[in-house]
Structure 1
Amino acid sequence: MSALPPLTWLQAFEAAARTLSFTAAGRELGVTQAAISQRIRLLEDRLGQKLFVRHPRSLALTPAGQAWLPSIHEGFARIGEGTREVFGSAPARSVTLRTTPVIQQNWLAPRLLAFHRAHPAIAVRLVSAIWTDEFGPEGADIEIRYGRGGWSGVEALSLGAEHLLPVCAPAVARALAAPADLAGVTLLHAAGFAVGWPSWLERAGVAGLESRSPALTCDNQVMTLALASLGGGVALAHRRLFEGRDDLVAPFDLAVPTDERFWLVRPTRGQRQEEASLLWSWLCREVDADPG
């Protein structure tokens, strides 16, 4: 074989082989379980052999995977040693923050920039997650999750009650005088939310109207809001995230409450570094000062 596989594939194999879990490997590397699975599949295709035996609820290394793993461990160890010899140890002052793309873009970005300007020596590593099982205290100092709360092993601070309302581009809004006008208009759905279009339409007195409208479904709200801003339809948005945008308008006043919300989260166990505590306190003050 003339060329080594990409480093990201090797990292995925090493993490998955060590944890025997694609999900745990994804958390460690800051990517989704699906991304780890894809990298392993591509690596196996490149090598021409299976590295894992995939059982319904578990994972095991094949003989080839077991034989190759020590070489991978040794390779990464030698890279680490060489890096430290030439460049010194990595800076200790770094914090990993994991959250959803929509909260990054609409709530976190200005606050994180202000923190960076006040504390430029602290390196913040921001990683994305969408689905509930992508979150967890492993590998992240702080998280902003979406859900009903009640997670074990974490300290959680609510960002406040949430309401969802329809939003769209101004040109689309001009044709929407009443909720019934949504018939035939593309409804943009974000999968995974407890409150969606059926709930809002029922509250608006036009239950079932979604069956008379085209639909586009995305796995994240960033995409539904992007499509809405381009005139591609009407999306449901969290009020706190919509209020910071100038490319969308709300054609109706009705906002439906939901018992799901965004939460600032950190593990309750383990030693907390000073830098992570500093960012946590900063974000907590931002939550307290947020009128939403």
Structure 2
Amino acid sequence: MFDELPPLSWLRAFEATARLGNFTRAAEELNLTPSAVSYQIRALEARLGHKLFERRRRTLVMTRLAQSYLPVVSKAFADIDASTAGVFGRMGGERVTLRCMNSLNMLWLVPRIEAFRARHPDIALSLLSASWAEGGDSALIDLDIRYGEGLWSDGEVIPLMRHGVQPVCAPDLAGGMPALERGPLIEMAGVVDTWRHFFRLHLPETRPPSPDYVVDTSLMALELAERGLGHALVADIFAAPYLESGRLVRSCDRNLEARHGHFIVVPAHSDRNRHGVRAMIDWLGEIATDA
């Protein structure tokens, strides 16, 4: 029975080395020495009769056979992990570190996160904020939610949601398109869907007034708009709680179709098949569908 199954310690060494990219990091995760990990990989290669890694100067490159074998091994360990937790409960729990831009954290994720904890009480969370999608050190991040075209090369990119962009203001400033022509306007820095694009689409003969405020987060734009300081052009998922509470209203009935979207990025060092990471990806996909 299981005559073809190599020792699990060899398979763990292979999975960790392939995921982390070298013997040293794998050894740290497995509480072994790099030479011990290297020995287990060589033993596994001898057992299988095939090379798993090409050993080049200071780097390891997986062979094609190893690339085919890794998802099978990773899924097997993930299934064992999930089944063990399901039958016996988690030993000490698990923590997932999720990072996303500050406005998405405060206006979309935090109001919903209690539902995730209710479904997965065994998973502890670390929620980090970034001002920009690619800011900060990603070494300790399990999942990143970024805004852009989805063309990042430092991990697996999973589409999450794409939404419209709409102008909003305090009720006293509402007045349709003529009010927007008068301003004042609040501009978001670093985005592709700007007031210039809005006016070009809906008022092509009118030049937009210069913005009175330029800010770098949707949250700041919304707070300024709530104080009656101008019209803000923001994503509808961010404007929703302000509109629902009556703190803001739509400036007009026009909007823009966003050219960028939100994506989940699973960094290269992260393990998508780990129970907590997989659970978070699935849950984010569910709530994005309802957004």
TM class by smaller structure? 0.5 to 0.7
Give the corresponding residue for 1:5.
none
Tell me, which stretches of 5 or more residues in structure 2 are unaligned? 1-91
User: How big is each residue's C-alpha offset from its partner over 1:155-198, in whole Å with a ceiling of 9 and x where there is no partner?
Assistant: 2232333321110111211xx13x23224422111111011111
1:267 aligns with 2:262: no
Q: Where do residues 90-169 of structure 1 align in structure 2 (5 Å cutoff)?
A: 93-134=94-135, 137-169=138-170
Query: How far apart are residue 261 of structure 1 and its match?
Result: 1.0
Q: Where do residues 36-115 of structure 1 align in structure 2 (5 Å cutoff)?
A: 93-115=94-116
3-state SS, counterpart of residue 131 of structure 2: coil
Q: Where do residues 193-212 of structure 1 align in structure 2 (5 Å cutoff)?
A: 193-205=191-203, 209-211=207-209
Alignment equivalent of 1:230, drawn from 224, 227, 231: 227
Give the corresponding residue for 2:10.
none
Q: Which amino acid aligns with 1:250?
A: R
Native 8 Å contact 1:142 1:276 kept in 2? yes
- Label 1:279 to 1:160 Cα distance change in 2 as closer, same or farther (>3 A): closer
Native 8 Å contact 2:198 2:256 kept in 1? yes
Native 8 Å contact 2:154 2:267 kept in 1? yes
Alignment RMSD: 2.2
Give the corresponding residue for 1:243.
240
Query: How far apart are residue 265 of structure 1 and its match?
Result: 2.1
Give the corresponding residue for 1:170.
171
Native 8 Å contact 1:198 1:208 kept in 2? no
- Label 1:226 to 1:234 Cα distance change in 2 as closer, same or farther (>3 A): same
- The share of aligned pairs that are identical, in percent, is 30
Native 8 Å contact 1:96 1:126 kept in 2? yes
Query: How far apart are residue 234 of structure 1 and its match?
Result: 0.6
Query: How far apart are residue 98 of structure 1 and its match?
Result: 0.4
- Label 1:224 to 1:162 Cα distance change in 2 as closer, same or farther (>3 A): same
- Label 1:206 to 1:262 Cα distance change in 2 as closer, same or farther (>3 A): same
Give the corresponding residue for 2:45.
none
Give the corresponding residue for 1:257.
257
Q: Which amino acid aligns with 1:232?
A: L
| Structure ID, larger Rg | 2
- Label 1:152 to 1:184 Cα distance change in 2 as closer, same or farther (>3 A): same
Query: How far apart are residue 270 of structure 1 and its match?
Result: 4.3
More deviation, 143-152/106-115: 106-115
Q: Which whole-Å CA distance do the structure 1 matches of 2:133 and 2:101 have between them?
A: 10
Q: Which amino acid aligns with 1:167?
A: V
Native 8 Å contact 1:93 1:275 kept in 2? yes
Q: Which whole-Å CA distance do the structure 2 matches of 1:235 and 1:127 have between them?
A: 25
Native 8 Å contact 1:137 1:266 kept in 2? no
Give the corresponding residue for 1:286.
287
Give the corresponding residue for 1:216.
213
